[in-house]
Amino acid sequence: MNKPIRAVSIFCMFLFLALMANVTYVQFVKSGSYNKDPRNARVAEASYSRERGQIIVGDEPVATSKPVDDRYKYLRVYPEAGARMFAPVTGYLQLGSQTGIERSQNAVLTGEDPQLFVTRLVDLLKGETAQGGNVVLTLDAAAQKAAFEGLRDTLGPRGEGSVVAIQPKTGRILAMASYPSYDPNELASHDSAKASAAYQQLDADEREPLLNRAIRTRLFPGSTFKLVTAAAAIENGKFHAGDQVPAGATYQPPGTSHRIANDGRSQCSPAKISFATAMEWSCNTTFAQLAVDVGPDKMRAQAEAFGFNSDYLRDLQGQVQSVYPADVEVPESEGGGTRELSLAETAQTGIGQNTVQATPLQMAMVTAAIANQGTLMRPYLVEKVQTAGFNVLRTSEPEVFNEHAVSAQTAGELTQLLEATVDNGTASPAAIPGVKVAGKTGTAQRGDSLCSAGGKPPYAWFVSFAPAEDAEVAVAVMIEEAPDVACGEIAGGQLGGPIAKAVMEAVLKK
């Protein structure tokens, strides 16, 4: 073989080897991720061409597929009555894009999940097209309706907010509402131009209707974080529910000239008050001093025991971590690096300000752990997986996330304080006749200026659980924007309390 032919032969051999290596890589290494990638139009087209499984709440489907006479054979539909209400959880199915449960449970819904292998085999032997499996959610339809309609009716058409309700003993998510929402039917259309236009309009909306605020929006939790501060103080033996605690009209944390006040609540003005009074009237000067007394490392440890700085939700993608600051960055001009929180910063974290931030799901978990005698359960949304014929393949089992977020004794003391806050204090709008309710308000300031002095309106929060002695539901309400409500009327108890009450009543069937 002469030299030119030998060179060409060797070059062709290398090309062949490179081709084989690439085919092996794509077929055996990357095929799984390609098949799961929602941007893979071929997979999406295949899923449209067979009957996708249902997403079910109670006994009713909230997402199903219907036969149509076009190239894709089946159209994903969301019942009009609950489409917007359930959309933040179900998500939507669109060619090249899936969100929510439609995305996280795609393998089950398309029938590709290994649990459905036998079903696929039977369908194959019968000569029938395989159908996808069903996903049954933990949501309580009545609680979800109360949460969504409560936000809509309270906040008005320009409002923004979220509600999460959890069953404390199991971690089952009973409600997860986000407002504003959207109609997923508009995005599931087989008319790609129409679907694209609908998405562009929603994506450009400043109120972000496509955003699931329950797991993706974190804000200053304000006074609802005082549950964490109080837990840290009791767990570390600083005070107990029956003790007198430090208070005062104002408090100047160490190392700063800034003074923390109580927004005019005179009940907080004495130098010492009962722990119950401090919780009932949400005294900033008390909880700032408790945080300083506990110290930043133990405050952080308590927050992390409730789930801050970690991921815990497996059934939906995109959860953002709630934050208790681990350290503070030092400017390069001062030497760079990081340092621990100062006592002044720690005081601010004790009242849910500084850089403490939480999602509605996180604050529902804090409340649920207290309601469950200190044991924090992992939250979950998928109750069961079924075949298309409704035979149960898998039922989710409750999982302990932290067995000792606080001790049972601390949880009991906190429950006493929160009951008193509903009975005698700022959380009274959540009271339910004949039921012991435990609750806490929160109003988180944005910036240094108060709303009444021309500053931005605050964020409003409310957390509660009931019945207090044996809780069936824990709720967190977050009000992000309420432009149709007078600035001075934006407060956790006033706006969030009635919504939380409606959700608790729906679960308790009151």
| The predicted structure's pLDDT at residue 488 | 81
Query: Residues of the chain with pLDDT > 90: what percent?
Result: 72
> In this structure, which CATH number among 3.30.2320.80, 3.40.50.970, 3.20.170.30, 3.40.710.10 belongs to the domain 222-382+398-509?
3.40.710.10
User: In this predicted model, what pLDDT tens digit does every residue of 233-250 receive, in sequence order?
Assistant: 999 999 999 999 999 999
> Would you state the structure tokens that stand for residue 488, as one six-digit string?
């001075």
**In angstroms, rounded to a whole number, what is the distance separating the alpha carbons of residues 135 and 106?**
10
99 backbone dihedrals φ, ψ, rounded to 5°: -140, 175
Closest among 176, 172, 293 to 232, alpha carbons compared: 293
**In angstroms, rounded to a whole number, what is the distance separating the alpha carbons of residues 336 and 234?**
36
Query: Residues of the chain with pLDDT > 70: what percent?
Result: 95
- Rounded mean pLDDT of 454-465? 90
Q: Where does 68-166 have alpha helices with state H?
A: 83-90, 100-104, 106-110, 117-126, 141-155
Please give the mean pLDDT across all residues of the chain: 92
Place of tokens 């019968």: 126
> Would you state the structure tokens that stand for residue 4, as one six-digit string?
């030119």
User: In this predicted model, what pLDDT tens digit does every residue of 42-79 receive, in sequence order?
Assistant: 666 666 777 999 999 999 999 999 999 888 889 999 99
| pLDDT of 495 strictly over 60 | yes
Strand partners, 323: 357
* Residue 342 neighbours by CB under 8 Å, 6+ apart: 255, 328
* Residue 505 neighbours by CB under 8 Å, 6+ apart: 146, 432
CA 287 to chain centre: 25
Confidence tier at 8 by pLDDT (50, 70, 90): confident
**In angstroms, rounded to a whole number, what is the distance separating the alpha carbons of residues 270 and 118?**
71
Q: 250-251 and 260-261: which strand pairing?
A: antiparallel
**In angstroms, rounded to a whole number, what is the distance separating the alpha carbons of residues 198 and 190?**
12
- Rounded mean pLDDT of 157-168? 97
323 CB-contact burial (10 Å; exposed 0-12 / middle 13-18 / buried 19+): middle
| pLDDT of 302 strictly over 80 | yes
| The predicted structure's pLDDT at residue 32 | 65
| pLDDT of 503 strictly over 90 | yes
Catalytic residue among 47, 223, 396, 464: 223
User: In this predicted model, what pLDDT tens digit does every residue of 262-298 receive, in sequence order?
Assistant: 988 899 999 999 999 999 999 999 999 999 999 999 9
Confidence tier at 120 by pLDDT (50, 70, 90): confident
Does residue 223 have an active-site annotation?
yes
> Would you state the structure tokens that stand for residue 356, as one six-digit string?
């403490």
More confident residue, 81 or 423: 423
Closest among 297, 326, 278, 327 to 425, alpha carbons compared: 278
| The predicted structure's pLDDT at residue 152 | 96
Cβ atoms of 364 and 163 closer than 8 Å: no
User: In this predicted model, what pLDDT tens digit does every residue of 200-234 receive, in sequence order?
Assistant: 999 999 999 999 999 999 999 999 999 999 999 99
Confidence tier at 34 by pLDDT (50, 70, 90): low
| The predicted structure's pLDDT at residue 451 | 74
Within 10 A of 124 (CB to CB), how many other CB atoms are there?
11
Confidence tier at 95 by pLDDT (50, 70, 90): confident
| The predicted structure's pLDDT at residue 44 | 62
Place of tokens 């009991």: 412
| pLDDT of 193 strictly over 70 | yes
**In angstroms, rounded to a whole number, what is the distance separating the alpha carbons of residues 125 and 18?**
39
**In angstroms, rounded to a whole number, what is the distance separating the alpha carbons of residues 76 and 106?**
13
| The predicted structure's pLDDT at residue 208 | 97
Q: pTM of the full predicted structure?
A: 0.89
